[in-house]
């Protein structure tokens, strides 16, 4: 799904959202230079895999948080984790580096990917890319979770 198709998908599913268009950003530092309406809701996304390349995970946290993958895997009973390759990102979520987003889970057809969503997004706004890194979509975290679960995505709400 491209950006426009993502917007239409959200409209078709009656998900209220706002859009902030901006130049392409590839990391959190670049995003800091953009005037965002809800900076407290901005999300950082980590696409990781286990050491056997059998299980893939998307970890979505508040933009100012850091995730220690070693601690994360121990807490959640997972095998050792490392970042997935750009090729895996394209293959499984049809995304490119810099455009990683929970909305990319709507593109997943082959390998199931579990989303671990920071509990701080529950009952609050979340800002994520619409499958392209030239905009941020703002919506309720609860609406995102409901939409993804409705589409068969496994979503775990966790404290990070």
CATH label of the domain that carries residue 54: 3.90.960.10
pLDDT in tens, 81-133: 999 999 999 999 999 998 999 999 998 876 689 999 999 999 999 999 999 99
Query: For residues 129 and 44, what is the distance between their CA atoms, to the nearest angstrom?
Result: 10
pLDDT in tens, 61-83: 998 899 999 999 999 999 999 99
Query: For residues 92 and 122, what is the distance between their CA atoms, to the nearest angstrom?
Result: 26
pLDDT in tens, 5-39: 999 999 999 999 999 999 888 777 777 778 888 98
- Residue 128 tokens read as 């994520």
Domain count, the chain: 1
Give me the domain span that covers residue 24. Answer: 3-158
The separation between CA 156 and the C-alpha centre of its own chain, rounded to angstroms, equals 13
What is residue 17's DSSP assignment?
-
Q: State residue 103's pLDDT score.
A: 97
Query: For residues 60 and 58, what is the distance between their CA atoms, to the nearest angstrom?
Result: 6
Q: What is the pTM of this model?
A: 0.93
Q: Does the pLDDT value for residue 155 go beyond 90?
A: yes
Exposed, middle or buried by CB within 10 Å (0-12, 13-18, 19+), for 1? middle
């Amino acid at each position: 799904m491209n950006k426009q198709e993502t917007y239409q998908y959200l409209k078709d599913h009656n998900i209220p959202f706002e859009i902030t268009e901006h130049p392409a950003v590839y990391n959190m530092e670049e995003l800091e230079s953009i005037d965002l309406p809800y900076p407290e809701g901005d999300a950082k996304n980590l696409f990781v895999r286990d050491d056997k390349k059998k299980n893939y995970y998307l970890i979505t946290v508040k933009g100012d948080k850091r995730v220690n993958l070693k601690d994360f895997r121990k807490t959640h009973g997972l095998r050792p984790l490392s970042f997935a390759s750009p090729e895996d990102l394209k293959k499984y979520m049809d995304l490119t580096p810099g455009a990683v987003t929970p909305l990319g889970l709507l593109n997943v057809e082959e390998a199931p990917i579990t989303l671990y969503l920071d509990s701080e997004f529950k009952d609050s706004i979340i800002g994520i890319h619409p499958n392209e890194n030239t905009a941020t979509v703002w919506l309720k975290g609860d609406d995102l979770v409901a939409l993804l679960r409705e589409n068969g995505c496994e979503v775990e709400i966790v404290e990070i």
